[in-house]
Structure 1
Amino acid sequence: MAAPSPPPNYLYKILPSAPPSPLPDRLPLSDLDKNDGYIHLSTSQQVPGTADKWFNDFTELWLLKIKYETLASGTDGPGQAKEGAQIKWEEVGRGVFAHFYNGDLGKGNVAEAFKVEKGSSWTELKLEW
């Protein structure tokens, strides 16, 4: 599937707890990402629905904000292009989501890590496209 047009400036990885600080070259994969063989990512418009569906019991989450161009170029780890690292847009149930294959997230491709808090629902969350 093709990327949204125009493509997002950022993609987000939802974490249930704070990532290490400072970020390492490579963050450990979640069990879900290990099992599926790619890193699950969301656009700013998808994060609220994903958080509401999969993280509804949490009152705070951490988000990794990643420049889309960085991942689209295959940048992995400490700013190095990794052969085979790529974003694929794939249809999953309720939409088309970005999946990062053959790469890792870490200080070389995560622009920012920040905490978000749940209001009455995660669907109220607004993020930068």
Structure 2
Amino acid sequence: MPPISTKIAPPSPLPEFVYKITPDAPPDPIPEAYPLSDLDRQDGFVHLSTSWQIPITTDLFFKDVTKFYILKLRLSNFDPASVKWDEAEGTNGCPHLYGNFGAKDVVSVKSFERHAETETQKWSEVLRGGGFLA
């Protein structure tokens, strides 16, 4: 069953980019249709994040991994009707893509890693700086 969510108005102005976080290395090259995660397939949409949500999302849902990848997607590539902004579990404005993305939508990919001895370090600390999140 998809999570309980409430559709909300999109932010204004819209962000230029949205991001897909994945614990698995993306296929190389990125295919025309990106493989959906089990969660995305189950929920019926692709879970995305805005740049400011990434530290929160990674601290909550990726706290037990030592490495993940972020795919940077150009929001304007998607039909506005296919991107719904949902308030889910108290998080305002989560972008959900009802459809899929692929190579033409991916601007760049970056991996983030913390070493075993720094597993107590929050992902929000690892993500500081670097300019990837715009």
Structure 1-normalised TM-score?
Answer: 0.83
Runs of 5+ unmatched residues, structure 2: 1-7
| Matching residue's letter, 1:122 | W
Matched, 1:86 2:82: yes
Runs of 4+ in 1 over 4 A off after TM superposition: none
Once the two structures are TM-superposed, the CA of residue 58 in structure 1 deviates from its matched residue by: 1.1
CA distance in 2 between counterparts of 1:16 and 1:25 reads: 20
2:44 to 37, 48, 57: 37
CA distance in 2 between counterparts of 1:33 and 1:69 reads: 21
Structure 1 match to 2:104: 108
| Matching residue's letter, 1:107 | A
Runs of 5+ unmatched residues, structure 1: 75-84
CA distance in 2 between counterparts of 1:12 and 1:4 reads: 15
- Any idea what SS the aligned residue of 2:104 has? coil
CA distance in 2 between counterparts of 1:18 and 1:105 reads: 16
1:15 to 5, 12, 22: 22
CA distance in 2 between counterparts of 1:112 and 1:29 reads: 18
Structure 1 match to 2:5: none
**How big is each residue's C-alpha offset from its partner over 1:74-115, in whole Å with a ceiling of 9 and x where there is no partner?**
6xxxxxxxxxx61000110132200000x2121021111211
- Any idea what SS the aligned residue of 1:111 has? strand
Structure 1 match to 2:94: 97
CA distance in 1 between counterparts of 2:54 and 2:48 reads: 9
2:31 to 4, 18, 24: 24
Bigger share in helix: 2
Structure (1 or 2) with the larger CA radius of gyration:
2
| Matching residue's letter, 2:95 | A
Size of the aligned set, in residue pairs, is 117
| Matching residue's letter, 1:58 | V
Matched, 1:122 2:127: no
**How big is each residue's C-alpha offset from its partner over 1:32-68, in whole Å with a ceiling of 9 and x where there is no partner?**
0011000000001101111111110112110110011
CA distance in 2 between counterparts of 1:17 and 1:52 reads: 17
